[in-house]
Structure 1
């Protein structure tokens, strides 16, 4: 008997004629690790929230949800709340207490667990998660990764049978994301916890999943099976629209076979049909078999730079004479006198024409740096300059016109009921001489016409990002500062967003973004920087910056760096892949 059964489940939001979910049928057995993926707006979050009665969305529903053999409505609400736990994308929306210890105890107190049992459960969980050193810290000062662990621990303290996770790594740096996923794997394998998780970044997740369920944009299940089976369908030419959702290694192997460049031995089926590699370990073995001679022949050959060469910047000695557009000199910043320095002795410059990605751990100060560059925060020590002028001497109107800033949450930019009204508000604020023509051009360029009459809360995350960016660009800024612009975007939207930024950069816009998305930074940025311990600790072009890192690099680079040291994406490897040779016996 399945632990969870979903039968012909259909859901429609109020005042909406289109179904968000349409006839979903799914059975999940005890102990399975299920990854739920699909394009933004396909209903993944709606489905997860429908399985958590306290968070179930309001709307018209049909079909049946059964848990442990009984319909949801026949379960005791308190028992169901204990047995089904959920970790949401943004931990700040789930944490309610001021201290970590209080947050851990909150759920247990609400279901009436005796004090002695509560202390025993918390002690065990704290040891398991390694939280001893920050048990009495304020939850507001925790990093994003720590907050996500507190949220997960507080849910697990209720000893659920089923754990639901809605893009839990979206706000985590690469190291924290890996640790979080490995922890989930331990819980699944060692304790038999059933997991259903939605996620867009599948590089690390697919190798550990038992099943993948793909929801289509129409709200129906398009695929339900093993990760390798999904990759096989792509290799066979099926479900091509989901090519971008697959790990880079699968995209490389499928592309090689499509181009007739996959080697095979006498009497052998193409390697792709034998076993598609999903993990780094499998990928290295696959590469050893595909290119056994390349390593011997080219191991000592000089590196070939496959990436676009770095044009330099104010932080490069060869370009020291270039006058920076934005500059930090000896900057120190803390949010209050009792808190530690977030930024200290920071020197950093952005020149006209730069396209820079800033990476670093959760809590490293990346968002703070971006707000300092935007003039939204003022340092306690040091100076921030715009075109050589101290930021405090620049008038607010000039700041708005010359610097465009897009925060992590685009909803912060919307005050009106429709996207069209919001653009009109931005138009009235703009002093650009061709503001009206500019607005019309942005609407067409960003594909906003179908969204003008819609409420900002009723459109997808990618659509909100485009609409908010259009409002920011109406002022005609010289530099665009972006804080986690790809958070919550599916792979197709992410590529569209990256292409849009490339187009804006070609038009002369200087771009600085902070991100945890290493693949995105490697593909689109021209310069990368790492913020650590309050200062810049590394800076350079993507090809050398990422190829010299162990954690802060792409999955493809981990696999191929012995042969193609500066290759960061599967397309880089395709560019260097040799003429096919026969496989060794």
Structure 2
């Protein structure tokens, strides 16, 4: 039975020139796991909000959306609130109470559940999510991963039949994200809970999906199984969809020109499937027609020695200066309260001109705090922060809403340009260039709070860029960005590196850091525990490494990206 059915549904925001959602028709069966994907601003969040009636945006709509055969608008309030749950992208946006216990009880109290039912459900869910040690803690003491688990637990206490998730792992580290997605898998498989998830981190979620729905400019461009979606992306008209595929699938398409004739069940989605396929592919007939013994092709073995060197050369795009650091901290210790725990402990780190340094670590490790200390927004209790004379830094905080004060995107950009002291001609030129890079032309007249999370992130970064800082401090700059937007951001960062600007990014995006950083560092227990060039840094890690490295480590120990693998295959003369 269909739990959700949309028939020719369209929606347009007030005063908008075009539909945000245009004539969507689809059905979702009970117990399905559905992945909703597409570029930032394509309408994913708007669609999810329409499925949660209480959050539906104001505007013009036509067509219909029904839940279990009844129009959403006609559902009793208790059914709409209890049967359909939603988890947002920003963990803090959903938490309303002061302690974990109160937050868990809040929704049940609003629904009027008797105390006995509340205690029983709370005990069950707290046990399932391991929340007992946190019950009496302040929500402000929780890490991002713990907050997101708390949000999910709060929703599940109402025992929903349909769970909606809007990029729930965008602010989680790789380990926390994997655990969160595994929890969703258990809910789907063991409780037959219907899951609809909008997500850019597709390595883990796409293999779990029963179906994929892809939106572009508010139009439903694809409805298929994951493997069917992969096969379709390998064909000409849908080639742009490849950016949304898991790495195993993209490598398969790159090395298999006849992918359209391969049986669906043979198309790899996971690391395990990709690794098996790759080993069999590497042992296949080589280009010279000879038949090597079972195992890895000799040319591939020969390529292993040079893959990491070539890959590192292609990733290094800046002009790092070995002279005195542009920005550095020495033996820095920081705590928020006099008697509170040390967030940073005797931390030493330096940044040179033209360098892109990626700082990684778990949620709550102190990465954002370190950026604030380096940017002069927080003063360490011990140690010293030093910067080059006259250095101006620009900080992009994790929450882009902190940067918005005006009613439209255009006003935000104009006021920031004027604050930076630009002439009218320079203002127009710089804003136009950033609008092109971040593709914000279509939302110029929109309120910053009404655009998607990815667009908010791009707008905040554009505002920081207008200040023309010598050092950029970016906290999760790829959060909420689709693959195309990440490529455009990378191109912009490359230009800045070539101009001698230095960049520090705090990120959970392992793939982005591996591809574009010149140096990586791990923050753990308040200190930098490891740092080095991407090839050495990631190839020695187990979880904090790229999907490509996990998949090809036996063949190419230091290959991190698809480009590394393809370069070795092509240079070795291996037939693809």
Going from structure 1 to structure 2, the CA distance change for 1:15 and 1:77 (only over 3 Å counts) comes to: same
Tell me the distance in 2 between the aligned counterparts of 1:311 and 1:22: 43
Q: Give per-residue Cα distances to partners, 1:415-448, cap 9 Å, x unaligned.
A: 23344443443344336xx765653442242236
Alignment of 1:447 onto 2:416? no
Going from structure 1 to structure 2, the CA distance change for 1:338 and 1:27 (only over 3 Å counts) comes to: farther
Deviation at 1:251?
Answer: 1.7
Conservation of the 8 A alpha-carbon contact between 1:35 and 1:211: yes
Alignment of 1:405 onto 2:408? no
Tell me the distance in 2 between the aligned counterparts of 1:74 and 1:427: 48
Going from structure 1 to structure 2, the CA distance change for 1:272 and 1:345 (only over 3 Å counts) comes to: farther
Deviation at 1:221?
Answer: 1.1
Deviation at 1:471?
Answer: 3.5
Map of 2:564 onto structure 1: 572
Structure 1: where are the runs of 5+ without partners?
A: 263-268, 390-397
Q: 1:414 aligns with which of 404, 410, 422?
A: 404
Q: Give per-residue Cα distances to partners, 1:237-272, cap 9 Å, x unaligned.
A: 3412212111122222212234x8x9xxxxxx9658
Conservation of the 8 A alpha-carbon contact between 1:294 and 1:563: no
Conservation of the 8 A alpha-carbon contact between 1:355 and 1:512: yes
Conservation of the 8 A alpha-carbon contact between 2:394 and 2:472: yes
- The 5-angstrom pairing of residues 142-153 of structure 1 reads 142-153=142-153
Q: 1:514 aligns with which of 496, 503, 506?
A: 506
Conservation of the 8 A alpha-carbon contact between 2:413 and 2:431: no
Conservation of the 8 A alpha-carbon contact between 1:257 and 1:272: no
Map of 2:358 onto structure 1: 357
Q: Give per-residue Cα distances to partners, 1:38-63, cap 9 Å, x unaligned.
A: 11111111111111111111111222
When structure 1 is superposed on structure 2, of 179-188 and 270-279 the one drifting more is: 270-279
TM-score normalised by the chain length of structure 1: 0.89
Deviation at 1:464?
Answer: 4.3
Query: Is the partner of 2:61 in helix, strand or coil?
Result: strand
Going from structure 1 to structure 2, the CA distance change for 1:66 and 1:462 (only over 3 Å counts) comes to: closer
Tell me the distance in 2 between the aligned counterparts of 1:272 and 1:536: 47
Map of 1:323 onto structure 2: 324
Tell me the distance in 1 between the aligned counterparts of 2:444 and 2:114: 54
Map of 1:377 onto structure 2: 378
Map of 1:28 onto structure 2: 28
Conservation of the 8 A alpha-carbon contact between 1:252 and 1:571: no
Map of 2:221 onto structure 1: 222
Map of 1:125 onto structure 2: 125
Deviation at 1:361?
Answer: 0.5
- The 5-angstrom pairing of residues 70-85 of structure 1 reads 70-85=70-85
Deviation at 1:473?
Answer: 3.4
Deviation at 1:463?
Answer: 4.8
Going from structure 1 to structure 2, the CA distance change for 1:514 and 1:285 (only over 3 Å counts) comes to: same
Query: Is the partner of 2:307 in helix, strand or coil?
Result: coil
Tell me the distance in 1 between the aligned counterparts of 2:247 and 2:102: 42
When structure 1 is superposed on structure 2, of 370-379 and 438-447 the one drifting more is: 438-447
Conservation of the 8 A alpha-carbon contact between 1:34 and 1:197: yes
Tell me the distance in 1 between the aligned counterparts of 2:416 and 2:91: 31
Tell me the distance in 2 between the aligned counterparts of 1:312 and 1:255: 25
Conservation of the 8 A alpha-carbon contact between 1:303 and 1:566: no
Tell me the distance in 2 between the aligned counterparts of 1:234 and 1:55: 33
Tell me the distance in 1 between the aligned counterparts of 2:122 and 2:459: 45
- The 5-angstrom pairing of residues 265-280 of structure 1 reads 275-280=266-271
**How many pairs are equivalent?**
555
Tell me the distance in 2 between the aligned counterparts of 1:79 and 1:454: 33
Deviation at 1:335?
Answer: 1.3
Conservation of the 8 A alpha-carbon contact between 2:99 and 2:139: yes
Map of 1:106 onto structure 2: 106
Conservation of the 8 A alpha-carbon contact between 2:45 and 2:452: no
Deviation at 1:468?
Answer: 3.5
Alignment of 1:544 onto 2:536? yes
Structure 2: where are the runs of 5+ without partners?
A: 284-293
Conservation of the 8 A alpha-carbon contact between 1:10 and 1:22: yes
Q: Give per-residue Cα distances to partners, 1:268-324, cap 9 Å, x unaligned.
A: x965877211001101110121012563746696463232259899xx9xx9x7311
When structure 1 is superposed on structure 2, of 230-239 and 455-464 the one drifting more is: 455-464
Map of 1:286 onto structure 2: 277
Tell me the distance in 2 between the aligned counterparts of 1:21 and 1:475: 35
Map of 2:235 onto structure 1: 236
Map of 1:395 onto structure 2: none
Going from structure 1 to structure 2, the CA distance change for 1:311 and 1:427 (only over 3 Å counts) comes to: closer
Map of 1:553 onto structure 2: 545
Q: 1:307 aligns with which of 302, 307, 311?
A: 311
Map of 1:392 onto structure 2: none
Map of 2:38 onto structure 1: 38
